[in-house]
Amino acid sequence: MKLLKSLAELREYREAVSGSLGFVPTMGALHDGHLSLVYASNMGTDNTIVSIYVNPTQFNNANDLDNYPDTLEADLQKLEAAGVSAVYLPDYQQMYPDDFAYEVNEKTFSAELCGEHRPGHFTGVLTVVMKLLNLVRPDRAYFGEKDYQQLELIRGMVAAFFMDVEIIGCPIVREDDGLAMSSRNLNLSECDRKRSPGFHRILSLGGDDESIAAELQNAGFNVDYVTTRAGRRFGAVLMGTEANPVRLIDNVPAR
């Protein structure tokens, strides 16, 4: 497995790749959900490259950025065992030589759901994903359906800018107790981790969005939103302390 730490190394790798290339962009702190994307890429393409970059422009909360888990050594071991051919490890200067003077901004869907409560989040996401897709030039790129709004926005961006890449959505991977796998789960206290499966359980119940939000509130979750659209129910809750909240998101088929 090659470790690519510069644009020159990435470009050299890309020119040398034989066959199709799959791409899995991540922010590290890898879990089985990330690895499911890698396995999907391994099945669908001849080579898989993964990026690990904690993108500061998509964090509207400085504490969230500061507390984002860093498990790079373990991540690299997992990726090598999974058969990844290369890992790209850029820094801020590589990603933003313009210091974020130029950005990709979607005007409608990005202002709903998570975007309504995290101003600027999806501008940061779309900007860094476009940069990475332009640099890696994959045939296919793989994203998880846990971040369903992100997936749809990336699909829309690729279509709007005529980008020559196929965006593949992969199913949510859950813990045995139903909690959607997320790097941020590492930041849950032991008590909050025990309570967290209630989020998915309640979100999956029948009833209108208002009743589900009330159920979550009664169960001790700080509800960000519960919204049903296009046949899916989306939810976001906060756990932890006010100073260091942990934000969980999920989505389920509407009942």
So which residues are the catalytic ones? 34
* Side chain identity, residue 59: F
Give the per-residue SS3 of 208-238: CHHHHHHHHHHCCCEEEEEEEECCEEEEEEE
Residues pairing with 167 in the sheet:
141
Residues pairing with 247 in the sheet:
238
Residue 183 tokens read as: 């790097």
CA distance 65 to 60: 8
At residue 213, what are phi and psi to the nearest 5 degrees?
-60, -40
Strand 140-144 to 21-26 pairing: parallel
Q: Would you say 66 and 133 are in contact if contact means Cβ atoms under 8 Å apart?
A: no
Q: What angle do CA 159, 91, 1 make, to 5 degrees?
A: 85
Residues pairing with 22 in the sheet:
48, 140
The tokens 């400085």 sit on which residue?
A: 62
CA distance 204 to 162: 36
Residue among 156, 78, 67 at smallest CA distance from 110: 156
CA distance 36 to 210: 33
